[in-house]
Amino acid sequence: MSILVIGSVSAVSTLAGKKADPIANYDRTADRHAFTVFMENGGWCWFQDPRAVLQGDYLVIGGVSGNGSGAALIGSYDLKSKKVLGSFVAKDRFNRDDHNSPAFYARPDGSLLAVYARHGWEKFHYFRISTSPDFTQWGPEQRIQHADFLTDKKDKVTYMNLYNMSAEGKLYNFYRGMEYNPTFCTSTDQGLSWSEDTHFIQSEVDGRNRPYARYAGNGKDTVYVSFTDGHPHVFGNNLYYAEFRGGSFYRADGTLIKSLKTDGPLRPSEAELIYHGSNVKVKQSTNAAWTSSMVFDAEGYPHIGYTVHLSASDLRYRIASWDGTQWHDREVAFGGKCLYRSQTSYTGLITLDPKDPSYVVISTDVDPNSGVDRGGKHEIYRAGVALADNTQTIEWEAVTKNSPVRNIRPIILNDGTRRVVLWNRGDYQSYTDYDLDTVGYEEKLSIER
């Protein structure tokens, strides 16, 4: 059972240890771009969600500063007045690590729950609840202890993913925990207390390896999950898919895989195979898949955006879409070169619109159709992608051009009236050394009557 601890103070100096001074430096005055700056000095990883949410006319964003004290930040932007309202420091001195970025959940009373965890350091996660209608003020930090469940001293909490299951009366928080694997806990009081820690997916790769999962939820009774065998840096991953509903796992066509309670956590070999990698256990493995984006369409059919590592200088973007009968898995773009040499599977990423999966945004430093290296930075592109499309047929439109800095890790928000595309822009050296702003654009959407 998870334990609530109020008013906790963590031993930051001990946990943070000594790191090399950051070298990332983003000269904002010299970067005269035309995009909206939604939040300054914050970056994110892509294995926690939702990292940003639309609440009426407010855009709320989570991030961690990659320099200075490395604080966890919650930014608020007023889309109506076009003004930055400020960034609330959720936790100061938070290891300067983009894996620690907050995730959000909209509570029924109109407030937001923000949860965050320190990358592989602690056996608990933190949370706050907003106290002002513009989301600039937040209540006291509290924490949820998972030590009673994570009994192995190596097991720590990383990545927060919040998905409501209203049919069960439960809010789920999917995190990395038990045996370094996807795990969840649940709340029946909108995030005030948590219990029922459960091992969700079980790695089948020898050694201490961890499947990487991306989630999506319909808010009622189903969580969709795409995941890998392990980290693509050490294993030639396959990509898998399953749906979690009523305590059991299912394939996309509704076929029962097994019950979690009676049969245990899902193993990759039991799930639906989407992409077959090399399955070679070597450093910087070729033909290794990694999850990037997970959405579902109006029919409830899943769409998965993911990357494939062929080499440090050749990464690809693919989309797998279920049409109700079969999967359509196709390569859609060249992802270019890795972001840095010690993590050769790190790309600029691909993301899909959660209400219109055909609207796709990518980040790449090469021509997305040909892979030709033009010697520039990672730029943002967008396109409409149909089930029958591939790299040769898609017309990618450049959103950014000739940028002096990188544009990476886009996400798309869509509340039915507006689409907001946002990404990290600036200097990115590594996951603990970056100087980034969250920038982007808003599109008004026509409402069919």
Contact 443, 419 (CB under 8 A): yes
SS3 63: strand
- pLDDT tens digits for 131-169? 999 999 999 999 999 999 999 999 999 999 999 999 999
**pLDDT at residue number 4:** 39
Determine the pLDDT at residue 448: 60
pLDDT, mean of residues 353-372: 99
pLDDT category of residue 16 using cuts at 50, 70 and 90 = very low
- Looking at the predicted structure, is the pLDDT value of residue 340 above 70? yes
pLDDT mean across residues, the chain: 95
Could you report the per-residue pLDDT of 289-317, keeping only the tens digit for each?
999 999 999 999 999 999 999 999 999 99
pLDDT confidence tier of residue 74, bands split at 50, 70 and 90:
very high
Per-domain residue ranges for the chain? 1-107+415-449
pLDDT at 67: 86
pLDDT score at 19? 64
The amino acid at residue 441 is Y
Give the tens place of pLDDT for each residue, 396-447.
999 999 999 999 999 999 999 999 999 999 999 999 999 999 999 999 998 7
Whether 214 and 225 have beta carbons less than 8 Å apart is answered as yes
Query: Tell me: the pLDDT tens digits for 227-268?
Result: 999 999 999 999 999 999 999 999 999 999 999 999 999 999
Beta carbons of 119 and 99 less than 8 angstroms apart? yes
Largest CA distance in the chain: 59
| Exposure letters 166-195 (e unless 16+ CB within 10 A, then b) | eeeeebbbbbbbbbbbbbbbbbeebbebbb
Q: Which stretches within 74-209 are classed as H helix?
A: none
This prediction has a pTM of 0.95
Say whether pLDDT at 128 is over 60. yes
Neighbours of 277 (CB within 10 A): 21
